[in-house]
Amino acid sequence: MNALLVDDERLARNELRRLLTAHPDVTIVGEAATVGEAETRLRDLPVDLLFLDIKMPGATGFDLLERLDRVPLLVFTTAYDEFALRAFEVNACDYLLKPIRPDRLAAALDRMRTLRSAAHPASPAPGAPRLRSAADRVFLRDGNRCWIVTMGEIVFFETDGNYARAYFGANRPLIRTSLNALEAHVDPALFFRASRRHLINLRFVERIEAAADDGYVVNLRGGHLVPVSRRQSRQLRHSLGL
Amino acid sequence: MRPPAPGRAYWICQAAGWGGFLAYVLGGYLLSVPPNAVDIASIVFFNGVVCPAASHALRRWMYVHGWHQLPGRRLFPRLIGVVAGFAGGLSGTVVLGLVLAGRPVMPASGAFGMAAGFAMALTGWLTIYFAVQTRRRRDALQLELAVVSRDAQLQSLRAQLNPHFLFNCLNSLRHLIVTQPARAEVMVTGLAELLRYSLASDRTDSVALSDELRIVDEYLALESVRLDDRLTVERAVAPEALHARIPPMLIQTLADNAIKHGIAELPDGGIVRIEAHAANGRVEILVANTGHLKAPAANGGRGLGNTRERLRLIYGEAATFSLQEIRGTVEARLALPMAPS
Write down how long chain A is: 242
A2-118: CATH superfamily: Response regulator (3.40.50.2300)
Residue A3 has pLDDT above 90, yes or no: yes
| Residue B340: Cβ within 10 Å count | 15
Which of A14, A33, A79 has the CB atom closest to B164's CB atom? A79
Residue B225 near residue B187, CB atoms below 8 Å: yes
Q: CA-CA distance, A157 to A145, in Å (whole number)?
A: 18
Task: Mention every residue, 6+ apart, whose C-beta is less than 8 A from residue B40.
Answer: B26, B29
CATH ID of A154-240, from 3.30.530.20, 3.90.550.10, 2.40.30.20, 2.40.50.1020: 2.40.50.1020
Q: How confident is the model at residue A30 (pLDDT cuts 50, 70, 90)?
A: very high
* List of chain B residues whose C-beta atoms are within 8 Å of the C-beta of residue A14: 175, 179
In this predicted model, what pLDDT tens digit does every residue of B216-251 receive, in sequence order?
999 999 999 988 889 999 999 999 999 999 999 999
- How far, in Å, are A76, A77, A114, B67, B251 from residue A94 at the CA level? 6, 9, 12, 66, 37
CB-based contact A100 B175, cutoff 8 Å:
no
Q: Specify the DSSP class assigned to residue A2.
A: E
pTM over 0.90, yes/no: no
| Amino acid at position B209, single letter | L
* Residues of chain B that touch chain A, judged by Cβ-Cβ distance less than 8 Å: 163-164, 166-168, 170-176, 178-179, 225-228, 264-267
How much is the average pLDDT of A143-152? 86
Nearest CA in chain B to A37: B267
Task: Provide the pLDDT confidence category of residue B213 given band limits of 50, 70 and 90.
Answer: very high
| Range from A171-180, B93-102, B173-182, B202-211 carrying the lowest mean pLDDT | B93-102
ipTM over 0.85: no
Compare CB distances from B265 to A11, A57, A100 and report the shortest one's residue. Answer: A57
Domains of chain B: 8-157 (no CATH), 163-337 (3.30.565.10)
First-to-last CA distance in chain B? 40
Which band of pLDDT confidence, cut at 50, 70 and 90, is reported for residue B25?
confident
Is residue A121 predicted with pLDDT exceeding 70? no
pLDDT tens, position by position, A62-84: 889 988 988 999 999 998 876 66
Asked whether the beta carbons of A55 and B164 are under 8 A apart, the reply is yes
Amino acid found at B8: R
Size of interface A-B (CB pairs under 8 A): 62
Instruction: Give the pLDDT confidence of A104-120 residue by residue, as tens digits.
Output: 999 999 999 988 887 65
Task: Spell out the domain ranges in chain A.
Answer: 2-118, 154-240
Chain A residue closest in CA terms to B177: A15
Nearest to A193 by CA among A131, A154, A235, A222: A235
